[in-house]
């Protein structure tokens, strides 16, 4: 089974899914859309009748971040809206996965991820998709709904749902019954009449009928006035325009159109010319169906009539409950949100729904923006928390590594061995201590597990990291030492040769200064580093020393002393480093190295005293003889009591 992971999974590539994906893309949040059909917005591209236009003005039907062009008509026709969707998908880089029929979706509480299984309609394989968030964007119109009617199976004519209706061309001069007096039913009835069909329409429930312009006016007024006030204004104009429709079989509801839309989600019917044809008798209004026998249909008022076709404009239903195994506190048993708009779009555990507000494209736009913004805030919060958690973890790892390094350095032990692999022979003291800590120290245990399980060759246990840490620690220590030296102000500089094992010339620099406290004064000496020496002349040594002092922020004028060995290029009164310093700062008095002078004195004395050389040589040979054997050493200890 193929497995794909992302941040947000979106089921459904209708306008709700496209809008949600576009908003997420603008926020740089990875997402995937799973669509059962072979195209996006299939309801609009494949299942919408030709004469369909958006029922609301274009400014109420725009998807997020992309208005309709100024040249578009106020009420956008179907073909133009499909073109708008094409541009929308391209602009916001929305790329659904088609032919993915979702079979199941649930929340895994162990991994805290949503798992969606979908069958690939092309390959036939079942694919698994995993995401932190799940957006159900299949909407309210997933499947066409045909109610149960007594005798429907016996009908000899054609039966279609409004989603299968394109136009009335093939129904010309036939008797056609449209069941349902919503927007689709009224528009299809009018379209059938225009194609020459003998049209009847079943109007079972009270319904508001309003012209487009009146609906547009009402939505504008709702920005400033209450529902009850706007409903009164709209109903007043409606009665003036249409008069009393009861005598034509159309009853008005007791509550106003905008109130009903808010409370029940049921929209008023937008009249496209159907009412005028009902008044003239060109379209006949029928009561609810009681029974069907062959091509004869009997209605609840006892009227009977023959029909060649029935078009069910009885709406749609959701299919959420067919594949959704976890309601997330969001959906009821009918597959609709428990809560009403505007609080309907968010569940728990990262679950959302788009296109379930019963507010058309206007509601879809709001849902998409709300969902994307909410996910963005959660992702940012999780990222910050994850960063803090990772930061704290690595702090603990580095702290333990530094403690191990400090311990080894304190005991003057080498870090590395002949290799840098854990649990391998000859990997050195540092990794040896890490192996020991791993047995009982949780942080080191996790770090070692991560290294060994991932097979990483570069990690925080290598010599490069150790060198970096040593450098950073040394720099911090040096800053503190410089701070103390500057607080003391006056200091003395001590230089000495220290050739290293690679036989390169180098020199140590040590600064002696006074440490002041409340009760007493002490003399401190701080080692500040090694100086690489290329030029051993007095000028070369001075230039190197001066460069280092400047880099440390120490002034020559604050030097009150200079200490070296007794080499001519160092102590020379006329040409040595001492002389150059004194020329700049006469207060930098020179003090020779006492130990170096003592060594020279002893060497000269030894070379001039043959008896002394022989005596100490004899003592050395005796020591060597006894020290090379444990038995002889015991004999020496038994006979020499000192």
Lowest mean per-residue pLDDT among 486-495, 548-557, 558-567: 558-567
> Of all helices (H) and strands (E), which one includes residue 492?
strand 491-497
For the cut 80, the answer to whether the pLDDT of residue 131 exceeds it is: yes
Residues 6+ apart with CB under 8 A from 89: 18, 40, 95
Q: Report the percent of the chain where pLDDT is more than 70.
A: 96
- Distance CA(405)–CA(413), nearest Å, equals 9
Which residue, chain included where needed, has tokens 């880089």? 93
What tens digit of pLDDT does each residue of 353-377 get?
A: 999 988 889 999 999 999 999 999 9
For the cut 70, the answer to whether the pLDDT of residue 568 exceeds it is: no
> Of all helices (H) and strands (E), which one includes residue 564?
strand 559-564
Pairing, β 589-592 against β 559-564:
parallel
Q: Do residues 613 and 606 make contact, with C-beta atoms less than 8 angstroms apart?
A: yes
Q: What is the pLDDT of residue 503?
A: 67
Mean pLDDT over the full length of the chain: 89
For 342-352, what is the mean pLDDT?
91
Nearest-CA neighbor of 44 among 93, 9, 73, 83? 83
For the cut 80, the answer to whether the pLDDT of residue 599 exceeds it is: no
pTM, full prediction: 0.68
What tens digit of pLDDT does each residue of 42-55 get?
A: 999 999 999 999 98
For 603-632, what is the mean pLDDT?
83
Which residue, chain included where needed, has tokens 């191990």? 404
Q: What is the pLDDT of residue 177?
A: 96
For 252-279, what is the mean pLDDT?
88
For 15-41, what is the mean pLDDT?
96
Q: Report the percent of the chain where pLDDT is more than 90.
A: 47
Most confident of 291-300, 332-341, 443-452, 577-586: 291-300
- Residue scoring higher pLDDT (562 or 91): 91
Q: Do residues 185 and 179 make contact, with C-beta atoms less than 8 angstroms apart?
A: yes
**Cis bond upstream, residue 342 (ω within 30):** yes
Q: 426-449 in b/e burial notation, b at 16+ Cβ within 10 A?
A: ebbbbbbbbeebbeeeebbeebbe
Q: Do residues 84 and 76 make contact, with C-beta atoms less than 8 angstroms apart?
A: yes
Report phi then psi at 486, rounded to 5: -70, -35
- Distance CA(397)–CA(392), nearest Å, equals 9
What tens digit of pLDDT does each residue of 206-233 get?
A: 999 999 889 889 888 988 999 899 989 9
- Distance CA(84)–CA(91), nearest Å, equals 11
Residue 14 CB-half CA count within 13 A: 24
Q: What is the pLDDT of residue 418?
A: 87
């Amino acid at each position: 089974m193929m497995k794909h992971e992302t941040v947000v999974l979106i089921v459904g590539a209708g306008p709700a899914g496209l809008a949600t994906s576009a908003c997420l893309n603008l926020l740089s949040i990875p997402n995937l859309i799973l669509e059962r059909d072979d195209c996006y917005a299939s309801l609009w591209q494949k299942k919408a009748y030709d004469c369909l236009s958006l029922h609301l003005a274009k400014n109420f039907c725009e998807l997020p971040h992309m208005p309709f062009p100024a040249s578009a008509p106020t009420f956008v026709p179907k073909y133009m809206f499909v073109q708008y969707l094409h541009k929308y998908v391209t602009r916001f880089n929305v790329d659904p996965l088609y032919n993915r029929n979702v079979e199941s979706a649930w929340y895994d509480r162990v991994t805290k991820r949503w798992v969606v299984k979908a069958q690939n309609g092309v390959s036939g394989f079942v694919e698994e998709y995993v995401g932190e968030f799940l957006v159900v964007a299949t909407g309210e119109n997933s499947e066409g709904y045909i109610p149960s009617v007594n005798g429907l199976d016996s009908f000899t004519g054609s039966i279609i749902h409004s989603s299968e209706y394109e136009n009335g061309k093939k129904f010309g001069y036939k008797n056609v019954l449209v069941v349902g007096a919503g927007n689709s039913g009224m528009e299809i009835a009018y379209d059938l009449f225009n194609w020459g069909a003998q049209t009847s329409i079943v109007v079972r429930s009270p319904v508001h009928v309003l012209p487009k312009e009146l609906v547009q006016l009402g939505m504008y007024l709702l920005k400033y006035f209450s529902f009850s006030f706007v409903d009164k204004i709209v109903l007043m104009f409606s009665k003036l325009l249409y008069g009393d429709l009861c005598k034509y079989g159309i009853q008005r509801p007791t509550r106003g159109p905008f109130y009903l839309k808010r409370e029940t989600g049921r929209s008023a019917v937008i009249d496209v010319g159907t009412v005028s044809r009902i008044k003239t008798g060109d379209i006949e209004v029928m009561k609810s169906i009681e029974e069907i026998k062959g091509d004869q249909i009997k209605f609840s008022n006892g009227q009977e009539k023959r029909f060649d076709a029935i078009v069910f404009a009885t709406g749609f239903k959701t299919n959420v409950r067919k594949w959704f195994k976890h309601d997330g506190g969001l959906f009821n048993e009918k597959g609709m949100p428990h809560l009403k708009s505007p609080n309907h779009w968010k569940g728990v555990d990262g679950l959302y729904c788009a296109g379930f507000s019963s507010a058309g494209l206007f509601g879809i736009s709001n849902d998409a923006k709300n969902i994307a913004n909410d996910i963005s805030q959660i992702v940012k919060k999780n990222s910050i928390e994850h960063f803090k958690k990772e930061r704290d973890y690595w702090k603990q790892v580095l702290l333990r590594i530094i403690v191990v390094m400090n311990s080894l350095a304190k005991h003057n032990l080498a870090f590395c061995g002949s290799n840098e692999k854990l649990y391998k022979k000859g990997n050195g003291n540092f990794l040896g201590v890490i192996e020991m800590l791993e047995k009982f120290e949780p942080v080191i245990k996790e770090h070692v597990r991560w290294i060994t399980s991932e097979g990483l060759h570069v990690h925080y246990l290598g010599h490069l990291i150790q060198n970096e840490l040593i450098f950073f620690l040394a720099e911090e220590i040096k800053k503190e030492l410089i701070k103390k030296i500057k607080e003391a102000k006056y200091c003395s500089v001590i230089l000495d040769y220290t050739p290293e094992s690679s036989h390169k010339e180098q020199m140590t620099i040590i600064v002696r200064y006074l440490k002041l406290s409340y009760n007493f004064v002490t003399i401190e000496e701080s080692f500040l580093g090694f100086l690489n020496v290329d030029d051993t002349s007095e000028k070369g040594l001075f230039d190197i020393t001066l460069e280092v002092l400047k880099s440390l922020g120490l002034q020559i004028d604050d030097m009150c002393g200079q200490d070296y060995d007794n080499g001519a290029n160092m102590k020379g009164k006329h040409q040595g480093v001492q002389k150059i310093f004194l020329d700049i700062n006469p207060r930098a008095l020179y003090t020779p190295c006492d130990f170096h002078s003592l060594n020279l004195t002893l060497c000269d004395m030894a070379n001039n005293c043959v008896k002394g050389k022989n005596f100490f040589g004899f003592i050395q040979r005796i020591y060597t003889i006894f020290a090379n054997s444990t038995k002889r050493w015991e004999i020496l200890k038994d006979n020499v009591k000192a």
